[in-house]
Amino acid sequence: MREYAVHDATEIELRLSLAVEVQPDLARSPIETRAGGLTAAAACLRSRREELAALMTAEMGKTLASAMAEVDKCEWVCRYYAENAHAFLADEVVSTNARDSRVRFQPLGVVLAIMPWNFPLWQVFRFAAPALAAGNVGLLKHASNVPGCALAIESVFREAGFPEGCFQTLLIPAECAEALVADPRVAAVTLTGSEPAGRAVGAAAGAHLKKSVLELGGSDPFIILGDADLEAAAQTAVQARIINNGQSCIAAKRFIVTEDCADDFEDLFIGQMKALRVGDPMDPATDVGPLATEAIRAELHDQVERSAAAGARIRSGGSIPTGPGFFYPPTVLTDVPPDSPAAEEELFGPVAPVFRAADPDHALALANATDFGLGAAVWTRSASLADRFVEEVQAGSVFVNGLVASDPRLPFGGIKRSGYGRELGVFGMREFMNVKTVWIGG
């Protein structure tokens, strides 16, 4: 096992000072230069694909296949902003009584990113690509269990030709982050993580009147209505639950199915969950690898046991296997009481609670009966029902007859206790920019 030295106060100061020094030069550089750097970063990711994927699997346990796909997605986001930065950053002319009036978009400066372990590369690149394209510079405080990934990301941008200091990793404990948020040289902060972490960072940013973007937990509903294609819905439901070994904010967390198709859907869903192969994440045949830490597995199993004690039925899985590794079997719970952990808490692992709804009205009510609002999926062949759920489900994203996923072309983020602000798309780039009004008379 490799060990990494924690950056001390002197090193933190050196890196922050360098970021402040280089940011104005990056902001003044031609957009084409910054776009070229992202194109080079994409090429670097492609050439280092196997190395970076293996590093993610080793540090946090995702399957090698999903790690490969994650590198590919990071390459995509770099190319996307390289190709679109010029259009996204162009002045927007507005007709007024002035001789010339327009909106100009300018970078804020140094942005601190506090990122989680579950998607060690993607979570960072989806922030870094638009930030660097806009002329901001990044400081990364990554999760403590993925230090190799954190340093590898820094090396990618260095190899891509970005000037030294444009993107730097800080190997620091979580308690050091608040001082960085407070530092007047840090212009803004973005965090992806837990609700408690979001509250702490949001409060610190607010106390210093700094822009923040928070992407927090989710309890995403996956809604199956009676006219849905059940085969496709069940197959996608399995994917939606076990993505990243079930450790994803936008993984489906609550499966809501109307009574008129519930028996058939449950049979399909449970059968496919039981058929999943749990094992070595480096084996291409593995569907579900280990959870990231022993504590995560222990908490998940406790939630399952408390839900069962409250009346939920365990239809598959539900027990900790013997042997090494923090594995947990794909688990399905039915007849879940509304006040049980499986109904009220985020399950961060391959556990799927299924809820029955009397009709679409009841399904909609159950979908919205949560304090979270990140993503949602609804399955129906009815255009009118689809339109109603798109309009009335309380979430940052609603997918109809598909898997909820982030996409560089579309804004991503949540409402309610899932956070605020957006990443990706043009909206994500502009979160960390000064939207400046320009008015020229005479």
User: pLDDT 10s digit of each residue in the chain, 442 long?
Assistant: 688 999 999 999 999 999 999 999 999 999 999 999 999 999 999 999 999 999 999 999 999 999 999 999 999 999 999 999 999 999 999 999 999 999 999 999 999 999 999 999 999 999 999 999 999 999 999 999 999 999 999 999 999 999 999 999 999 999 999 999 999 999 999 999 999 999 999 999 999 999 999 999 899 999 999 999 999 999 999 999 999 999 999 999 999 999 999 999 999 999 999 999 999 999 999 999 999 999 999 999 999 999 999 999 999 999 999 999 999 999 999 999 999 999 999 999 999 999 999 999 999 999 999 999 999 999 999 999 999 999 999 999 999 999 999 999 999 999 999 999 999 999 999 999 999 999 999 7
Query: Quick one: pLDDT at residue 219?
Result: 94
**Alpha-carbon distances of 311 from 114, 297, 317, rounded to whole Å:** 38, 21, 16
Residue 78 annotated to the active site? no
Angle between helices 122-134 and 147-159 (to 10 degrees): 30
Closest CA to 125 of 88, 75, 197, 50: 75
Closest CA to 332 of 242, 243, 251: 242
Query: Quick one: pLDDT at residue 442?
Result: 79
Residue pair 229/196 in contact (Cβ under 8 Å)? The answer is no
Burial 330-347 (b: 16+ CB within 10 A, else e): bbbbbebeeebbbbeebb
The rounded distance, in Å, linking the Cα atoms of 188 and 209 is: 9
- The torsion angles phi and psi of 374, rounded to 5 degrees, stand at -90, -70
Query: Quick one: pLDDT at residue 305?
Result: 98
Please pick, among 70, 154, 215, 423, the residue that the annotation labels catalytic: 215
Query: Quick one: pLDDT at residue 230?
Result: 98
The rounded distance, in Å, linking the Cα atoms of 60 and 167 is: 23
Closest CA to 240 of 256, 264, 261, 262: 256
Alpha helices in 177-282 (DSSP H): 177-182, 195-207, 230-242, 259-274
Query: Quick one: pLDDT at residue 2?
Result: 85
The full DSSP string for 299-328 is: HHHHHHHHHHHTT-EEEE--SPPSSSS---
Query: Quick one: pLDDT at residue 416?
Result: 97
Residue 178 annotated to the active site? no
Closest CA to 45 of 30, 60, 56, 34: 56
Residue 429, Cβ density class (10 Å: 0-12 exposed, 13-18 middle, ≥19 buried): buried
Residue 39, Cβ density class (10 Å: 0-12 exposed, 13-18 middle, ≥19 buried): middle
Closest CA to 184 of 285, 244, 109: 109
**Alpha-carbon distances of 370 from 219, 275, 299, 416, 440, rounded to whole Å:** 7, 30, 20, 9, 49
Query: Quick one: pLDDT at residue 215?
Result: 97
Domains along the chain with CATH numbers: 9-216+418-440 (3.40.605.10), 221-400 (3.40.309.10)
Alpha helices in 48-121 (DSSP H): 49-60, 64-89
Please pick, among 249, 261, 423, 431, the residue that the annotation labels catalytic: 249
Alpha helices in 183-229 (DSSP H): 195-207
The rounded distance, in Å, linking the Cα atoms of 130 and 426 is: 9
Alpha helices in 211-255 (DSSP H): 230-242
